[in-house]
């Protein structure tokens, strides 16, 4: 068996669908894709594993080749791997910068040092997994994905982004309500047997 066929067989394992299910943990109300040609199309590239080859849903950049995704998770994530399927040819993204817990990231912000960067390859079937430095992506509550380059086209097209990792539900924190006196009130601190002299003036 050749190396390539072994790799393809490994990634077609049904278990991969369960591993790449973090898209269900994205808070889509917070998801924003900057420079998308069609508003709202960026959210469509986060989809089930068995739909990763479906090219009917995609996002394409507008003014240039850059695409920037900002989103939060519904809990805490330990991000372990990323898969990216482009639209094919020169429009495939060729470089990715990943930022943890920095939402929202603007295009101006994206020029700074990222938590991790990847040189991407053409991958029409989703067999290439880019593994993160897991220690850097513990307790990940939000993520920014900045695709700043492609293979030479005017626009970048992405059809699928897969996220693999562990998920923990958000911890609910109790709220303690305390009442404090802005100034002591004499009537609230009477000494037993003491007369009420608060209404008398000083002679």
**Residue 112, domain member (yes or no):** yes
Beta strands in 121-176 (DSSP E): 130-131, 140-150, 157-169
CATH number, domain containing residue 17: 2.60.120.470
Give me the pLDDT at residue 120, please. 98
> Are the beta carbons of 95 and 147 closer than 8 angstroms?
yes
pLDDT value for 94: 98
3-state secondary structure of 37: coil
| Pairing mode, strands 116-119 and 59-60 | unpaired
Domain assignment of residue 145, given as a range: 3-183
Distance CA 38, CA 50 (A): 24
pLDDT of residue 170: 78
Nearest to 73 by CA among 21, 26, 33, 29: 26
Tens of each residue's pLDDT in the chain, 203 residues: 333 333 333 445 678 999 999 999 999 999 999 999 999 999 999 999 999 999 999 999 999 999 999 999 999 999 999 999 999 999 999 999 999 999 899 999 998 999 999 999 999 999 999 999 999 999 999 999 999 999 999 999 999 999 999 999 877 655 445 454 545 555 555 544 544 434 444 43
Number of structural domains the chain divides into: 1
Is residue 45 a part of any domain in this protein?
yes
- Residue 201 within a domain: no
């Amino acid at each position: 068996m050749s190396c390539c066929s072994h790799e393809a067989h490994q990634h077609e394992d049904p278990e991969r669908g369960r591993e790449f299910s973090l898209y269900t943990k994205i808070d889509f109300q917070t998801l924003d894709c900057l420079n998308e040609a069609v508003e709202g199309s960026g959210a469509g590239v986060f989809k089930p594993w068995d739909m990763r080859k479906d090219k009917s849903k995609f996002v394409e950049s507008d003014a240039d080749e850059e695409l920037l995704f900002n989103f939060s998770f519904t809990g805490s994530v330990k991000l372990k791997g990323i898969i990216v399927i482009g639209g094919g040819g020169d429009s495939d993204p060729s470089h990715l910068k990943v930022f943890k817990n920095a939402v929202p990231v603007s295009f101006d912000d994206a020029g700074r040092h990222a938590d991790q960067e990847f040189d991407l390859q053409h991958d029409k079937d989703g067999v290439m997994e880019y593994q993160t430095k897991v220690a850097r992506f513990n307790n990940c509550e939000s993520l920014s994905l900045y695709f700043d380059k492609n293979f030479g086209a005017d626009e970048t097209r992405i059809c699928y982004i897969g996220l693999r990792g562990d998920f923990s539900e958000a911890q609910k924190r109790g709220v303690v309500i305390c009442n404090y006196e802005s100034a002591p009130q004499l009537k609230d601190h009477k000494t037993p047997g003491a007369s009420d002299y608060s209404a008398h003036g000083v002679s």
